[in-house]
Structure 1
Amino acid sequence: MPPELHFLLTLVLRMAITAAFVVSASIITERSGPVIGALVATLPISAGPSYTFLALDHDAAFIAAGALASLPVNAATILMGLVYAVLAQRFSMWISAGTAIAVWLVLATIMRQFEWTLAAGLIVNVIIFAICVPLLKPYRHVARMPLITRRWYDIPLRAALVATLVATVVTTSGWVGPRVTGVMALFPIVFSSMMLILHPRIGGQATAAVLANSAWGLLGFGLGVAVLHVAVLQFGSAIGLSIALATCIVWNLTLWWNGRRKRLAQKA
């Protein structure tokens, strides 16, 4: 088989696998309400496949360097969520989502200019989350979550966006290097697609509630990125990726259990 055809078929397969993950996560998110939906949305739905496929093409040092560049960018994502949540209360989807995505792009571009250490990346996340979590609290609840009427293009569009992101990250990683790759891998494509699809359907306040509930999940996602940086250097890419994924899953399950325990206590 010619190398070009082998590369193309491999890329298409990777995009298809990513799309399958996104379709499954999208269905769960839309049917489970803002709290569970936020926990699912903050799992590594797009970054996970990106780093998995990168690990097939690059060594552990590349993955570790990429994760180190991704870590501070996670803080930009929660700021993006805050900007959207505030604007979505009064403005249209285009203004709210467009401004939020623009803020992310500006912050990610600034963060890319620096050589980050693990400690610095963690400190930035802690500071930003300490500021944003209280500010997002008023937007976490809505009186009633509207029924979502799915249109035929919703899930294919979302799957295509994430698959395209993964393809871009994988195909350009060799010449842009681990720092830029790490930034691109954390582009909030899942959150962006939720804004673009859900806002016209259920309104800005309900969509903002999903993103506002994602704050603690994103903190766990940042922890998973930090674990990835450390673990791949110690144990190799396969084990490191598995430990990072397990970190995100355990964190979100803990959030779910804690929230359920509080609700039961309030009813009692």
Structure 2
Amino acid sequence: MGVLTALVEIGDAAFWAALLAKMLASAAIVVLASLAVERTGPLVGAMIATLPVSAGPAYIFLALDHDAAFLRASAVASLPAIAATALFIAAYAALARRHGVALSLGGGLAVWIVAALAPTRIGGGLAGAGLLTILVIVACMRVCRRWRGGGPVLARRKRGSDTLIRAGIVMALVVAVVLAGRLAGPGAAGILAFAPVVMVSLAVILHPRLGGAATATVLVLSLPGLLGFVAALFALALTVERIGPAWALPLALLITLVWNGGILLASRRRPAPTPETDR
């Protein structure tokens, strides 16, 4: 019955309008991030990619359909998904330097699915889930540190259809994730809100164009941005029942913007990292 109800609701005009908005927003950010990588460097692209483009609209849609308590529970449930995304990045980066996009993404997504679906009853509620997520992200940053320098950017000649192809890839992935979330029910909302749609889209677009090593660098450089997600979810969980979604959601967005902007400013004040020898 639950699946049948979800299938009926999928035909609702409001659902399709919300889905279209999310598709366009996600496509715009991924196209912008991929262009930034090619024109300004991987760090700028990574910081754009870790803005809440996919999760932000998802939480807005949740706020329209559910109360503040549901949003708080979803924020706590999203934390393991962020840890899973960090593990996805680490797995993809390890594979992409020597393998093609299909094998690299397949391995990374397998790691994400296992990590996201693993039991999350670690105790401590928001604090426990947040601490575990931070530890996982920091561990992945340490493991992937040698790949921050990446390899040479081997861009192919651009075609007029490149932007449309990029946008189409992203929108197809967004549709798949949103429909899966609709059928999975509200219990999976928090996890699916932070499914690595943008990261997967960037890999699909950039890996064939720039090479696996350069694409791995972009994703590895996005790991510090995930800590901004953790801070934003903490703020959302702590404030949404007190000040309401209309104020708590913009506050969470502001935190991610300030965090990523701080990373960019800090990067300009220190020398660029020297690639370490891959052993």
TM-score (norm 1): 0.88
Report what 1:198 is aligned to: 206
- Contact 1:89–1:204 under 8 Å retained in 2: yes
- Report how many residues are paired: 257
Report what 1:10 is aligned to: 14
Q: CA RMSD in A?
A: 2.2
Q: 1:100 aligns with which of 96, 105, 108?
A: 108
Report what 2:277 is aligned to: none
Report what 1:28 is aligned to: 32
1:166 offset after TM fit, Å?
3.5
Mapping 1:1-268, distance limit 5 Å: 8-33=12-37, 34-112=42-120, 117-147=125-155, 149=158, 150=162, 152-169=164-181, 171-172=182-183, 176-178=185-187, 180-263=188-271
What is the distance in 1 between the residues matched to 2:145 and 2:44? 16
More helix by share: 1
Report what 2:276 is aligned to: none
Which deviates further from its counterpart, 123-132 or 60-69? Answer: 123-132
Question: Which runs of 5 or more residues in structure 1 are unaligned?
Answer: none
Q: What SS does structure 1 have at the residue aligned with 2:224? A: helix
- Measured at CA, do residues 132 and 5 of structure 1 come closer, stay the same or move farther in structure 2, by a change above 3 Å? closer
What is the distance in 2 between the residues matched to 1:112 and 1:125? 11
- Contact 2:78–2:190 under 8 Å retained in 1: yes
1:36 offset after TM fit, Å?
0.6
What is the distance in 2 between the residues matched to 1:39 and 1:218? 10
- Contact 2:122–2:128 under 8 Å retained in 1: no
| Structure 1 segments (4+ residues) deviating >6 Å | 4-7
- Measured at CA, do residues 214 and 6 of structure 1 come closer, stay the same or move farther in structure 2, by a change above 3 Å? closer
What is the distance in 2 between the residues matched to 1:133 and 1:49? 27
1:20 offset after TM fit, Å?
2.2
1:66 offset after TM fit, Å?
0.7
